Amino acid sequence: MSPLTPAETVALALSFKIALVGVFCSLPVAISCAWLLARKRFFGKPLFEGLLLLPLILPPVVTGYVLLIVFGHHGAIGRWLDAVGLSIAFRWTGAALAAAVMAFPLLVVALRNAFESVDRRLESAAATLGAGAWRIFFSVTLPLSLRGLVAGLALAFARAFGEFGATITFVSSIPGQTRTLPIALYELISMPGGEGGALRLTLVAVIVALLAGLIAALMLLRGGERSAGAEA
C-alpha cells in the first residue's frame, strides 16, 4: 500500500489536532457534570442527565445544524464572536467544538462511573482529618478515579477523531481547516479513482480506533480488578 499523500497527511494531522483540543477543552466541564451526577441529588437530575447525553442520541447532523444556528455567522452567539474577532464557524476551532460536543457524553458517562466506584469512606476519612472539599477531590477522589478518567479520555478521543456528521454540517469541508480524516475519506469514496486513498485512510482510522479501544479496555479492566481486590 502506498504512503499517505500530502493532502491525506494534512487531514490526518488536523483530525488529531481537533480531537485533542476538543476533548481536553471539554474535560473540565465533563468532570464537573460527572461529579454532580455521581455525588449530588437535585431537582431535575434525570432531565439534566438526559440533556447531557443528547448528542449521543441525536443524529450528528442535527447536532451540527444546532451548532450552526447558534455559532454560525448569523447565530445568536456567532454574531457576537464575529464582532470581537473570535469567529469559529467554518474554521478548525468550530470543528473542535463539534468534536467536543459529540465526545462529551462518553466522557461524562465514564467519569460518573469512576466517581461512583470511589469508596466514600475514604473521602469521609479525609474530611475528618480536616481536608476541605477541593483538597478531598484532588487528593482522594480524582486519583482513585484516574483509570476511569483515562478510559473516558480514550473513548472520547476516538469519538472526536471519527466525527463526521456534525463537523461537515457545521463547518463544511475546507482543506487545511476543517477537512478531517473522515471527511477526506468520504470525499475519496465519492470520486472516481479514490479507492486507494480511501483504503489508506480507512486503515489509519481502524488503527486509531483499535488503539483507543485497547487503552480504554485495559484501564477499565484494571479498575475492575482493583475494586474486586478492595472488596475482598
Q: Is 107 among the domain residues?
A: yes
Q: Is 207 among the domain residues?
A: yes
Q: What is the DSSP letter of 3?
A: P
- Apex 9 CA angle, 8 and 11, nearest 5: 65
216: closest CA among 168, 160, 150, 167?
150
Pairwise CA distance, residues 10 & 1, whole Å: 19
Q: Is 1 among the domain residues?
A: no
Q: What is the DSSP letter of 5?
A: P
What is the number of structural domains in the chain? 1
Q: Is 176 among the domain residues?
A: yes
pLDDT of residue 226: 52
Q: What is the DSSP letter of 194?
A: -
Render pLDDT for 152-170 as a digit per residue (tens, 0 to 9). 898 899 999 999 999 999 9
Within 8 A by CB and 6+ apart from 79, the residues are 73
Do 103 and 157 form a contact (C-beta atoms < 8 A)? yes
Q: Is 165 among the domain residues?
A: yes
Residue numbers of the domain that contains 192: 6-227
pLDDT of residue 84: 86
Query: Can you give the CATH number for the domain in which 69 is found?
Result: 1.10.3720.10
Q: Is 87 among the domain residues?
A: yes
pLDDT tens, the chain, 232 aa long = 567 888 888 999 999 999 999 999 999 999 999 999 998 888 989 999 999 999 989 999 999 999 999 998 888 898 898 888 888 888 999 999 999 999 999 999 999 999 998 888 888 898 888 888 888 888 888 888 888 888 889 889 999 999 999 999 999 999 888 999 999 999 988 888 888 888 888 998 899 888 888 887 887 666 555 544 444 4
pLDDT of residue 230: 46
Nine cell digits for residue 151: 478510559
Residues in the chain, overall count: 232
Q: Is 104 among the domain residues?
A: yes
In the three-class reduction of DSSP (H, G, I as helix; E, B as strand; rest coil), residue 93 is classed as helix
pLDDT of residue 170: 93
Q: Name the pTM for this structure.
A: 0.85
Q: Is 232 among the domain residues?
A: no
70: closest CA among 79, 82, 61, 62?
79
Chain mean position to CA 181:
16
pLDDT of residue 215: 82
